[in-house]
A and B are shown apart, each in its own frame.
Chain A
Amino acid sequence: MTRLFQSLQSLALATGMAFLAIPLLASAEVPRPDIPEANARYSEAQGCVEPTEEMRKNHMEYILHQRDETMRRGVRTKQYSLEECINCHVPKPESGKVVRSDSKEHFCSSCHSYAAVKIDCFSCHRDTPMPDADTTMHRLGSGKAHHFTGTEAELTADALRAVTEEGLQ
Chain B
Amino acid sequence: MSEHVDTSRRRFLGGTAGAAAGISIAPGVFLNQVAQAKPADQPVSSDNRWGMLIDTNKCGDGCDACVRGCMEENGWGDIHNSEPHSSPEQKAQWIRIVELRDTSTGYAHQLPLMCQHCKHPPCVDVCPTGASMKRADGIVLVDKHICIGCRYCMMACPYKARSFIHEDLQDQLVVAPRGKGTVESCTLCVHRVDKDGADAVPACAEACAAEGHDAFVFGDMNDPNSEISRQLALHGGTQIRADLGLDLGVRYRGI
> Are B39 and A74 in contact, with the CB atoms below 8 A?
no
B212 within 8 A of A: no
Q: Pick from B26-34, B52-60, B168-176, B226-234 the stretch touching chain A.
A: B168-176
Interface residues on B, range: 20 to 34
Given A74-B44, A74-B194, A130-B174, A124 and B39 contact (CB-CB distance below 8 Å)? no
B209 to chain A: which residues have CB within 8 Å?
none
* Interchain CA distance A83-B40 in the complex, whole Å: 15
Q: A74-B44, A74-B190, A168-B40 are in contact. Are A124 and B174 (CB under 8 A)?
A: no
Which of A78, A128, A168 interacts with B39 by CB under 8 Å? A168
CB < 8 Å neighbour of A125 from B41, B42, B177, B181: B177
A75 touches B40 (CB 8 A): yes
Q: Which of A53-102 contact B (CB under 8 A)?
A: 67-69, 71-78, 83, 100
With beta carbons under 8 angstroms apart, the residue of B42, B141, B171 that contacts A75 is B42
**Across-interface contacts of B166 in A (CB, < 8 A):** none
- Given A72-B133, A126-B172, decide whether A167 and B40 contact each other with a Cβ distance below 8 A: yes
The total of Cβ contacts below 8 Å across the A-B interface reads: 65
| Interface band, chain A | 20 to 34
Does B173 contact A126, Cβ atoms closer than 8 Å?
Answer: yes
Question: How close is A66's CB to chain B, nearest CB, in angstroms?
Answer: 11
**Cβ-neighbour of B135 out of A74, A100, A167 (below 8 A):** A74
The A-contacting residues of B in range 170-194, CB under 8 angstroms, are 170-174, 177-182, 190-191, 194
Q: CB of A27 within 8 A of chain B?
A: no
What A residues does B173 contact at CB under 8 A? Answer: 126, 130
With contact pairs A74-B135, A75-B42 given, residues A123 and B179 touching in the complex (Cβ less than 8 Å): yes
Indicate which residue in A75, A76, A124 contacts B195 across the interface (CB closer than 8 Å). Answer: A76
**Residues of chain A contacted by B171 (CB below 8 angstroms):** 126, 128
B residues adjacent to A (C-beta < 8 A): 38-44, 133, 135-137, 141, 143-145, 168-174, 177-182, 190-191, 194-195
Known: A78-B40, A124-B182, A168-B41. 7 other contacts (CB 8 A): A71-B141, A73-B43, A73-B44, A76-B194, A100-B170, A124-B172, A167-B41
